[in-house]
Structures are given as structure tokens and as C-alpha cells.
């Protein structure tokens, strides 16, 4: 479930980053608004939104259950442990990184998702998400929060992308290097692309 919901959330990230990247056309948000409108009103996408919320919930709840199970399996700690010898810091910090991403998501939902859905339900109108982005990212501390969120997402994906395949049994000496390298490229591209959005809006490079 961790792996399947993780891969599903990865596909969401691709769509989300792809549509948001349309702001870089520098056409006053016109192309972005077109696709944001499609995403905000299409019935299939609206239904997928419920699946997305369920995906996040299962991913988080399963993470907590697995952590509890792991702790219960070893009530007495090892007398000697040198974790750096065979694991990375970020593989051992998936829970912490995920929690930072969750905090980011709560702030993020308060900026865009909740006000937009609220407006849609009450007035039937969508908000102008492009000008809302410009307003939101005119504050340096918001930009810092977003960049920190993207930084945590980067390390979370660096571990999660490849281990999702391993968990599903897609683990073969022939293909592992490919999966690892695609995972690294994906983590870099998605995180840098997302982080570049608040940064370029703050410096008025997107208009």
C-alpha cells in the first residue's frame, strides 16, 4: 500500500508540476488558467481528487502503522549500531521528511485549494489562481516555506521512488541501476521545477 499510494502520488506530482509549469509561458497566466479551469471543473478530475485525498490518507496512516510495527518488533535496541555503514540519512528520515511535507501541504491547502473550493461552492466561480500565486509569493517567508517543502520532497522522493519498485518486487540487478537513476533525475526535476515557481514569482520573472 505504501508503494502503490506512493507511485500514485508521484503521478499526481507530474500532472501538478506540468500544469503549473505553464506559468512560465509568460502569457499573463492564460495557458495556465485554461488548464487550471479544466482541472477544477472536469468531472473525472474532480472524482480523482477524492482518490487523491484517499491516497494521501492511506500513505500517511500506513506509514504510522509500519513504524509502530517496526518498533514493536524490536523492543530492545541494539547495543551497538552504526547506521551510516549501510543506509543513508534520508532513508532513515522518511517519517520526518514526510511530516515536513504534510505540514507544507496544510499551509499549501490554506493558500490555494481550500479558498478555491470554498469559492466554487459558495459562488460557483473559480478564483484567479495565477494572480493568487503572484500575491502569495510576494512574501519572502512564504517562498522560504515552499522551498523548504520542495527540499524535503526531494529527499523523500530520492528514497521513495526506488524503494516503491523494490517493495513491489521489481528488483533485479539488471534494472536496479536504471530505476535508481530515473529516481534521482525525477527527484531533481520535480523539486527544482516546483521550487522555481515561488522563486521566479517573487522576483517578478513570471508575469
**Alpha helix positions (H), 81-170:** 89-92, 94-108, 114-123, 129-136, 140-167
Q: How far apart are CA 201 and CA 177, in angstroms?
A: 36
Set of cell numbers at residue 69: 510495527
Count the site residues for ligand HEM by CB under 6 A.
21
Site string for ligand HEM, 154-193 (x = CB under 6 A): ----------------------------------------
Q: How far apart are CA 98 and CA 56, in angstroms?
A: 11
> Among residues 1, 39, 4, which one has the least CA distance to residue 126?
39
Q: How far is the CB of 19 from ligand HEM (least distance, A)?
A: 9
Q: Which is nearer to ligand HEM, 176 or 184 (CB)?
A: 184
Q: How far is CA 200 from CA 45, 53, 60, 145, in A?
A: 28, 29, 31, 15
The one segment of 73-81, 86-94, 145-153, 164-172 that binds ligand HEM by CB under 6 A? 145-153
Q: Is 52 in the site for ligand HEM (CB under 6 A)?
A: yes
Q: Residue 49: enclosing H or E segment and its boundaries?
A: helix 43-73
Q: Which of 1, 7, 16, 200 is the binder for ligand HEM (CB under 6 A)? A: 16
Q: How far is the CB of 183 from ligand HEM (least distance, A)?
A: 16
Interface with ligand HEM in residues 53-112 (CB under 6 A)? 101, 105, 108, 112
Q: Which residues bind ligand HEM (CB under 6 A)?
A: 16, 20, 39-40, 49, 52, 101, 105, 108, 112-113, 116, 129, 133, 146, 149-150, 153, 194, 197-198
Amino acid at each position: 500500500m505504501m508503494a502503490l499510494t506512493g507511485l500514485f502520488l508521484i503521478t499526481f506530482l507530474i500532472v501538478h508540476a506540468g500544469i503549473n509549469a505553464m506559468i512560465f509561458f509568460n502569457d499573463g497566466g492564460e495557458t495556465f488558467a485554461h488548464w487550471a479551469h479544466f482541472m477544477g471543473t472536469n468531472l473525472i478530475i474532480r472524482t480523482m481528487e477524492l482518490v487523491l485525498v484517499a491516497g494521501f490518507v492511506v500513505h500517511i496512516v500506513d506509514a504510522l502503522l509500519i513504524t509502530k510495527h517496526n518498533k514493536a518488533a524490536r523492543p530492545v535496541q541494539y547495543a551497538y549500531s552504526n547506521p551510516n555503514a549501510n543506509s543513508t540519512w534520508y532513508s532513515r528520515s522518511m517519517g520526518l521528511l514526510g511530516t515536513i511535507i504534510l505540514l507544507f501541504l496544510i499551509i499549501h491547502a490554506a493558500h490555494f485549494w481550500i479558498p478555491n473550493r470554498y469559492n466554487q461552492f459558495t459562488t460557483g466561480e473559480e478564483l484567479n489562481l495565477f494572480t493568487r500565486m503572484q500575491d502569495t509569493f510576494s512574501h519572502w517567508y512564504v517562498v522560504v516555506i515552499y522551498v523548504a517543502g520542495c527540499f524535503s520532497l526531494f529527499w523523500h522522493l530520492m528514497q521513495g521512488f526506488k524503494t516503491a519498485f523494490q517493495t513491489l518486487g521489481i528488483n533485479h540487478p539488471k534494472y536496479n541501476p536504471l530505476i535508481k537513476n530515473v529516481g534521482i533525475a525525477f527527484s531533481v526535476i520535480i523539486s527544482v521545477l516546483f521550487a522555481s515557481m515561488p522563486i521566479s514569482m517573487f522576483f517578478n520573472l513570471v508575469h
